Amino acid sequence: MAQKKNEREAIDDVIRRLKKKYPDVPGKDLEKIVESNYAAFQNAKLRDYIAVLVEHGAKSEIAARKHKHR
């Protein structure tokens, strides 16, 4: 249980960091992007790097959306 709490805290930290890094992305949109990336790892057995992978995936998705809207 403690691992899940720490993982959730790490995901919340990812959201906070990305909100600072991408102030032009609406907060709710950013949260949905992060949560969607997090959900993709729901059944992952190795949990140590989930937050890092979620952050990387979210950044890639944000960049792709920005590029698409140019």
H-helix segments, 22-49: 27-39
pLDDT > 70? residue 1: no
How many residues in total does the chain contain? 70
Confidence of residue 69 (pLDDT cuts 50, 70, 90): confident
Residue with the bigger pLDDT between 36 and 67: it is: 36
Within 10 Å of residue 58's Cβ, how many Cβ atoms? 25
pLDDT > 90? residue 67: no
8 Å CB contact between 12 and 38: no
Classify 20 as helix, strand or coil.
helix
Tokens of 32: 């949905």
- Region 12-40 average pLDDT: 97
Tokens 């899940």 correspond to what residue?
Answer: 4
Q: What share of the chain in percent tops pLDDT 70? A: 93
pTM > 0.85: yes
